[in-house]
Structure formats: structure tokens, C-alpha cells
A and B are shown apart, each in its own frame.
Chain A
């Protein structure tokens, strides 16, 4: 496998407001290699966005942040970088697609010039070349009549077209890592399918690394090579998409998948539920974060934090933080 291009280890992120402190990420990590798509899956509040974007300095506004651990992009330590270097890295090395296109596009400026500016600044193109590049990016993102759309304002485009324009914007700096934060959540089913297909095509053609942050198991199934399942700021399970989605081991992953109906299979019981709600991350207890909602809970789960153990023999390590299921089902571990 290729060496990772973005890797994060032992990340702890505490967020402070005047009244509460929240441990958003609690010793989690991930890595992604060129040509690979990693899906980071979790429910709202699981820390998936903060974990991925936090090391790049993209954090919620108005809160104080304490961030520890290691994060490397292309081998360089990004946590010790100067703000100017980090800003350059964010603009050029990383491209980000957000859930809401209007959070990335300036509503006061025409779409094309926004793309061209990005291409000029980060890909080092001349003004003329940047314009040509912007038009071709719009075309590549599946926007019909790109010459015309170049001169349109964001509000003149439909939701699906805006999402495409934002993807074009993220690609304008020729990033090596594309981070897609819930890229399809706000879109309709048929448009979602188009956008997922577009991201997949771009990734194949450019060989870039893609990180998909989502709670949508369907999107994971379409795009991901590897999956990391995050629960309350910790990685519960990670491995190849096929291993994690079809042979999950952690009770949370199993519960999450059982709550997703699959209308292509009649055997699936469909809408099983996980009782309860995720823990309050302002008052975390020791031990396994999922213990209070878990149907396999043992007394030790409340006091001992489970570590990730490698299970199975696939080429992609499948790691699970649940000693209870591993022991009860006689799953071989090796590490």
C-alpha cells in the first residue's frame, strides 16, 4: 500500500466555551494514502468533522481549543507549522467540499472568477490560463454550458449545480487530499447519486486521496475503500469497507448497520434500533463510550477503555475496540 499522505495519531481535541468543556476527539487517529478513499463514519457529535479538519485549523468559531497529538501531511508535521504555512497547505494541498455550497462560495462574486482566483493563487497559473482552467473544471464537474455558468452568480444555480461548482472550486488548487464533509446530505436522491459518481470519477482520474466524512452508510458503500467508525470521539472499528460494512464486529457498528434498511434484501430486518442516545461529551465516564447503549456490555466495560485490536487476515487491517465480542465469538487477534 502507498505511504499515507495525511495521517493523524493520538489526537485529543478539547473544546471550551465559557460554560462547558467538551472532549470532542479522544485519542483517535486515521490515515489516508493517494488513490484511496477513507470514509469517517459517525453520528452528529461523534467528532468526525473536528477530527479531520481540526488539525488543519478549521474548527468551530467562538470556542477555545486545546489540541494534542500528531498530524502529518506529506510527511510534514502540521501542528507545529506557522499560520502562514498552514494556510497555504489548506488552500493548496487540501481541498474541502462542505455540506452547504454557500459556505464555500462567495455569494457576491461570479462563480468562474472564484475558481480562477483559486487556480491562480495555488496552482500558479497565469490569469488567462486560470480562466481556461476554471471553465474546464466546471465542465469536468458536470456543469452544462460552462462558458455561460462562468459568469453566473451562485444564487442563479440549482442545488445540485452549486454542489458541482463547489467541487470544481475544491479542485481548482489541484489538491492532493480532497475532504468531503457530508457532501450529499442536503441533496435529493437522484442528485446524490450524480455527485457520488462525480467524486469517484475525479478520484480515479487524479489519483488523489479522498476523505469522506458522513453518517450516510449508502455513500460509504458507494465510495469508500476503507472505513473508520467514530463514536463519541474514539475509533470503534476500522478496516476495509467490505469488512466493516459486511462483517462488522463492534456492537456499535453492528447496531448502526442494522438500523439502515436495505430494500434490495428482504432478509434484512431493516429498522433495528440502538437504544438511548450518545453520551454527553462534557461528562465522559472512563471505560468504553458505548457501554451505556450496548447490548453486550460487561461490568469491565464501564471502567476499562478498550484498545483497537487487529482481527481477521485481510490485506487491509481490520481493527476493533471491543474485547467482549472478540472473546465471546472467539475471533482471532494478532497484534
Chain B
């Protein structure tokens, strides 16, 4: 329809600072929503910490793997496990439920910038990721005799948090193709086996040979290797390969999520 003939005055587009303020508010609301869901925040933060306490601090406190203190090694692997959980559940379960139960439609009918909705989920997930990793550091340093310089800690934290983004993309893809009640089950079905096979629970060299080679096709393996390399452990492969795999995986997931978005919008506008 021609806008030139519209009998109503056109309103200018939203100024940038106003748009940024919407993004900020959207992310804050998303974070508060999730933080107050006790069962959610307790399990996202609690699971990796619990595993770390059990396998790192209680059972193997004084062990070492290939010259790296076990408690330090496990911060990298349970850190990977933790950020992966925060990313997958943070994006997929919310999106699937809100898509399926009508809330996303209420938001789409409003003038909310559509991308703010997804950005909020990703930001919320990375905040949870940061909390998980910082708490792992705290536990390791306090009870596990872990020594991490501030620079190293920041490097490990940022590797893990940036490395959680591929899993945010994966979560969005799942959220677009899973139903509101099936999404958590689907995530668990992917999350736990993938974590185990990538050597996040038990260090990779203790896994059978067939699993060790299978791990190379799993994205969490590559993030774990990046995290381990910051503390001088791991398989000592080229970091470029790990980043390339993670970037490729992200692009595939974003592509799938985009298909889901277009399919939904197609129902809406196509």
C-alpha cells in the first residue's frame, strides 16, 4: 500500500538511544524472570557446582592429569558443562514455551523490535554462564588449592562465556522446532550425552578410544579444549581448529533458527 496517500501522519523511526534502552530493559526483564524461577536458577547454577564439588573437591582433590592439577582441570570442563547448560536451557526452553503458549505473539503485536527478544535471551544466558564460572573459580580457589592469576581467570572466563554463544544459537534452533513441554526433555537428551562424550564429566583421556575420536565432531569438546588450553592442559591441538568448528557450528544453528523464525513469520506474514 502506498504510504504517500495515507491520510495519517507518518511517525519517524525510533531514535537509537531509545532502541538501546529497549534492548537493555528487555534483557533485564528476561534475567529477572529467570533468576526468580528458583527451580531454574538453582539447577542451572547448582548442577555444574555439585559435579565439581563431588568429582573435584571430594573424590580426586589431590590427583593430577598430565601434570595439571585435577581441581584446575575440572574447572575448565565443568565450566564448559555449566555454560552449555545455561545457554541451551536459557534460550530453548523459554522460546519454545513462549512460542507455543502465545506470549511471543503478544510481544510481536507490540512495537518491540523483534531482535530485542532474542538478544535478551542470549544476554540472560551469558549472565548465568558468568555466574556459574565465577562460582567454580571461587570453589576451586577456596577449597581445591587452585591457583589462577587474575589475567588467567579473565582469559578462562571470557573463553567460556564467548564459547557459550554457539550453544545459545543451538538453543534458539531447538526452541523453534520443539513444543513448549517437550523442549526441556529434548535439551536433556542432547545435553547430557554430548557432555559425557566430549569429556566434560570424565577427562577425555579416560574415555574409550572410540569415544575419544567421536568427541572431535562434538562442539562441547572443542570448547572444553579451548578452556583447558588456557590453563595449560588438554590435547594441545591448534586452537584455530577449535574456534573454526565452533564458528561453523554457530552458523549452522543460526541458519536453522532462522528457518524456524521464517516459518513462524510465514505463518504470520507469508
A and B co-occur in one complex: no
**Residues of B at under 8 Å CB distance from A?**
none
Q: Which residues of A contact B (CB under 8 A)?
A: none
